[in-house]
Amino acid sequence: MERGVNIDGVLVTWGDRLFYPSNRMVKGSPPPKLTGDALRRRAALIRGRIAATVRRAPQVMVKVTGGGRGMKAIAAHFRYISKNGRMDIEDDRGEHISGARAVRDLADDWRFSGGLIPEEAEQGGRREAYNIMLSMPRGTDPLAVQRAAREFARLELAGHKYVMVLHDHQANPHVHISVRAEGRDGRRLNPRKTDLHRWRETFAEKLRELGIDAEATRQATRGAARNYDAIWQTNARASGRLQRDFARTKSSPRSMASRASAVEAWSHLRTALERSPKGGDAGLAKGIAEILVRMPTAQKSDPGMSRPDPTAPPIVRVR
């Protein structure tokens, strides 16, 4: 290892860019620096994220599948996720609801809690509820998925009324959550792309706390570029009603730029780990090399897999 190279500093700088892209540095303000134990702990976290990506840990899915603009649509979703009351609904207080009558009472409770939700929304009206699905691949313990979803909702949906139902009768265990958009303090939920990435991180973290191998790595970081069907597209495709197919691969300039950025970060991490004396780092570097081979952007932009100079002073950031 060259004299003066801070391997942990390189890992934190490029690992943060790769795994925590929502971090942004403010111009004119020097980034906070990590040193000593804080730097080592952060670097250990980045090594763990690299190892999980290399071994292709199961990826969590958190998806907003829609939402009701009027009480009629919200109540219909209650009936759908509970199979008209045959499956237990759990609310934000931890109480369990079952039976068709109880589901109707639940809808009435939501209608009058806070601002009145009309039966039918006006054309183009705002959403009064959001439907969220948290899912894991086949073979995952359904009860662990349910417990992780419960903790996810407690943290991320605090202050809002919500209900959840575990579905473990299909190929992959998943939890449906319906959350009232208006919070108890009057503030409204409006999930954005950055929220969805944080939600995935939270759900994966809660699964790991239960001993479930789970990750929430972005597609660009993994070298993937797949467009997933919306729920209506999946249903229409299954019933043969989909009139035209949709692009299955992301090819927008923004997607291409994200993948190119991921290639750059992976290349820096690979070089640093190759030159690290720490046990296990060489194996991580080899795994990164295999990831880069699978990334088309890497081959286009860097056919010779040239490696960056890790001796440049790292910019160390915190989350």
**Closest Cα to residue 202, out of 160, 156, 164?**
156
User: Following CA atoms 107, 109, 114, 119 in sequence, which dihedral angle do they give, to the nearest 10 degrees?
Assistant: 30
Segment 94-99 mean pLDDT: 95
HEC secondary structure over 90-109: EECCCCEECCHHHHHHHHHH
Phi-psi region of 36 (alpha: psi -120 to 50; beta: other; left: phi over 0): left
Q: Is residue 89 part of a domain?
A: yes
Q: Are residues 191 and 178 in the same domain?
A: yes
Residue by residue, DSSP assigns 13-28 as HHHHHHH-TT--PPTT
Segment 150-174 mean pLDDT: 95
Find the radius of gyration of the CA atoms of the chain: 23
pLDDT confidence tier of residue 4, bands split at 50, 70 and 90: very low
Q: Are residues 73 and 193 in the same domain?
A: yes
Segment 157-185 mean pLDDT: 94
Q: Is residue 239 part of a domain?
A: no
Q: Is residue 150 part of a domain?
A: yes
Q: Is residue 156 part of a domain?
A: yes
Instruction: For residue range 25-84, list pLDDT tens digits in order.
Output: 444 444 557 778 899 999 999 999 999 999 999 999 999 999 999 999 999 999 999 999
Q: Are residues 165 and 185 in the same domain?
A: yes
| pLDDT at residue number 269 | 96
Q: Are residues 143 and 87 in the same domain?
A: yes
Strand partners, 229: none
Segment 141-166 mean pLDDT: 97
| pLDDT at residue number 256 | 76
Task: Give alpha helix (H) positions in 113-159.
Answer: 142-156
Number of domain units in the chain: 2
Q: Are residues 46 and 115 in the same domain?
A: no
Q: Are residues 44 and 178 in the same domain?
A: no
| Lowest-pLDDT range of 48-57, 215-224, 248-257, 264-273 | 248-257
Query: Over 80: is that where the pLDDT of 305 sits?
Result: no
The residue out of 185, 209, 233 marking a domain boundary is 209
| pLDDT at residue number 73 | 95
| pLDDT at residue number 218 | 85
Q: Are residues 156 and 67 in the same domain?
A: yes
Cα gap 48→140, rounded to integer Å: 21
Query: Over 50: is that where the pLDDT of 315 sits?
Result: no
| pLDDT at residue number 225 | 54
Q: Is the pTM of this model over 0.85?
A: no
The residue out of 176, 209, 242 marking a domain boundary is 209
Q: Are residues 172 and 69 in the same domain?
A: yes
Question: Whole domain around residue 284: which residue ranges?
Answer: 7-57+252-301
Q: Is residue 288 part of a domain?
A: yes
Q: Are residues 173 and 49 in the same domain?
A: no
Q: Are residues 65 and 83 in the same domain?
A: yes
pLDDT confidence tier of residue 236, bands split at 50, 70 and 90: low
Q: Are residues 154 and 185 in the same domain?
A: yes
Q: Is residue 217 part of a domain?
A: no
pLDDT confidence tier of residue 239, bands split at 50, 70 and 90: low
Query: Over 70: is that where the pLDDT of 301 sits?
Result: no
CATH number at residue 74: 3.30.930.30
Q: Is residue 28 part of a domain?
A: yes
Q: Are residues 75 and 170 in the same domain?
A: yes
Q: Is residue 176 part of a domain?
A: yes
